[in-house]
């Protein structure tokens, strides 16, 4: 995968630079409208909350990047990805009067109307960035967590020249740093889907075979981590059942059950029971004792205990195969 993000000021012609660069490089072009449609396909027609917009966008883009090199022409796209090889984050600027002139030409407006319209566009851009990323202005440099690697000022070049410069810079970076392996996209995808699962954002089509039953099960989760885990399983199309069976572990002399254990989840596609746990040692010890006893009494039962940090191992072992199918 290779990623080139381009954003810019309204009226600076940054979208034209993005289109031209994608054509020169032969990359897939991602515009705001296309990304919005893909997000609707994945998460349904309901609007994704602004603060969840970033992870939701990356979830879509990382999946697409496994098959295509991308030019992401979305304002604020540089905020979506942390610095990494084969990523070039670009901003296009132009002097204010030049932007006003472009608006006059594009919209066939008089100067006063173009000035007002540009002010509206600038304010709208700031509000959108503030809602999505918590800040109205782009970060100043690539040294920050996310920032700009290359700034093109169209006061000194036209669109065609800027396109040539950007395409050459992107090709140079790929030549020196290469393309990131698919596994990196998988890890990026997992990180963002975990963030979305924590926020309660789930795919439009439930992965569970019995969606109605799953919806009922969601209402009675015993702990927030269980709901998050179910959301994550849905992203990877892993069918799940919540607390479907209790196992008797100890009996009194009359044959009455005195102790039982109900694992949190059952994954029918893999015949696997999953028990979630926290970092609290007393709970871990108690659950491990029950799991050990269950394995001794029911050796044919496949069960594993998972911390949240183990979720990625589970998903990469089972979920990538299901998501690809």
Beta-carbon contacts of 203 under 8 Å, excluding residues fewer than 6 positions away, are 42, 43, 234, 235
Q: CA 264 to CA 276: how far, in whole Å?
A: 7
CA distances from residue 237 to 187, 207, 208, 259 in whole angstroms, order as listed: 17, 4, 7, 34
Mean pLDDT, residues 204-211 taken together: 48
Listed in order, the ranges of the chain carrying CATH 3.40.50.300 are: 3-190
Q: Which CATH superfamily is domain 3-190 in?
A: P-loop containing nucleotide triphosphate hydrolases (3.40.50.300)
Q: Is 206's pLDDT higher than 70?
A: no
CB 266 within 8 A of CB 238: no
Q: pLDDT (tens digit, 9 = 90+) per residue, 180-202? A: 677 777 888 888 888 888 888 87
The SS3 of residue 3 is strand
Mean pLDDT, residues 254-268 taken together: 92
pTM, whole model, 2 decimals? 0.76
CB 89 within 8 A of CB 14: no
Q: pLDDT (tens digit, 9 = 90+) per residue, 32-80? A: 999 999 988 888 765 678 888 999 999 889 888 888 889 999 999 989 8
Q: CA 149 to CA 129: how far, in whole Å?
A: 19
What are the phi and psi torsion angles at 173 (to 5°)? -65, -40
Q: CA 177 to CA 172: how far, in whole Å?
A: 9
Q: pLDDT (tens digit, 9 = 90+) per residue, 213-231? A: 455 455 578 788 888 888 8
Q: pLDDT (tens digit, 9 = 90+) per residue, 153-180? A: 999 899 999 999 999 998 887 776 666 6
């Amino acid at each position: 995968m290779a990623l080139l993000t381009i954003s810019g000021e309204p009226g600076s012609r940054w979208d034209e630079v993005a289109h031209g660069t994608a054509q020169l490089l032969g990359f897939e072009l991602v515009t705001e409208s296309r990304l919005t449609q893909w997000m609707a396909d994945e998460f349904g027609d309901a609007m994704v909350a602004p603060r969840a917009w970033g992870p939701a966008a990356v979830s879509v883009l990382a999946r697409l990047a496994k098959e295509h090199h991308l030019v992401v022409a979305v304002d604020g796209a540089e905020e979506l990805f942390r610095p990494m090889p084969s990523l070039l984050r670009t901003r296009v600027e132009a002097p204010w009067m030049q932007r006003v002139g472009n608006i006059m030409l594009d919209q066939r407006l008089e100067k006063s109307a173009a000035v007002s319209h540009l002010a509206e566009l600038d304010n709208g851009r700031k509000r959108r960035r503030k809602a999505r990323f918590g800040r109205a202005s782009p970060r100043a440099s690539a040294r920050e967590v996310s920032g700009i690697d290359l700034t093109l000022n169209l006061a000194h070049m036209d669109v065609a020249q800027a396109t040539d410069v950007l395409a050459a810079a992107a090709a140079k970076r790929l030549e020196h740093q290469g393309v990131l392996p698919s596994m990196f996209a998988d890890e990026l995808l997992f990180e963002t889907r975990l963030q979305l699962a924590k926020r309660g954002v789930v795919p439009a089509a439930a992965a569970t075979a019995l969606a109605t039953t799953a919806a009922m099960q969601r209402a009675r989760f015993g702990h927030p981590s269980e709901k998050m885990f179910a959301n994550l399983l849905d992203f990877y199309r892993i069918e799940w059942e919540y607390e479907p069976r209790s196992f008797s572990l100890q009996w009194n002399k009359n044959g009455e059950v005195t102790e039982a254990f109900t694992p949190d989840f059952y994954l029918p596609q893999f015949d696997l029971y999953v028990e979630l746990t926290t970092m609290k040692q007393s709970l871990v010890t108690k659950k491990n004792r029950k799991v050990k006893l269950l394995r001794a009494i029911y050796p044919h039962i496949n069960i594993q205990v998972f911390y949240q940090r183990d979720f990625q191992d589970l998903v990469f072992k089972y979920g990538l195969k299901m998501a690809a199918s």
